[in-house]
Amino acid sequence: MELSYTPSEVYSPNDTVSEELLKSIPKKVHFWLQGLLAEMTEPGGYGMLRWNFTDEVSTIAYGESDDSVFQLWWEGDSHNPIGLCGNDKRFESIIDNMDFFTLLEENIYSELESLEEERDR
């Protein structure tokens, strides 16, 4: 799975609630990774999760295969992401696609928990 800063298809949340829910993922992932990894200056990954944080544009990707990758891009700080978008039309309305959002969020956090468990061994 390769991360790109030029999304081929861009879907941004079309309502405030969807935007806030989607913003929670970069905030939580970045916070979690900061706690697990002392240095996050290089792109990284674990299992089916990939990440790359920069001052300008950052991305998180989760995918079971190259054909099924969900990627989020945002500008600015992960604590206050702006210009947030994803590569799936369901990112436009999280409210109408809560099952999709919840499953994606659970899978991302599950990978982070596994990384934490492995690190603590």
Average pLDDT over residues 55-75: 81
Q: Give the Cα separation of 78 and 9 in Å (integer).
A: 21
For 47-55, the CB contacts below 8 A with 24+ separation are 47/111, 47/114, 47/115, 48/1, 48/107, 48/111, 49/108, 49/111, 49/112, 49/115, 50/1, 50/3, 51/3, 52/3, 53/78
pLDDT of residue 3: 66
Q: What is the pLDDT of residue 102?
A: 94
Question: What is the structure's pLDDT at 118?
Answer: 86
Domain locations in the chain as residue ranges: 16-120
Highest mean pLDDT among 4-8, 41-45, 49-53, 65-69: 49-53
| 19-55 pLDDT per residue, tens | 899 888 888 888 888 777 766 667 888 889 988 887 7
> What are 76-88's pLDDT values in tens digits?
777 777 778 888 8
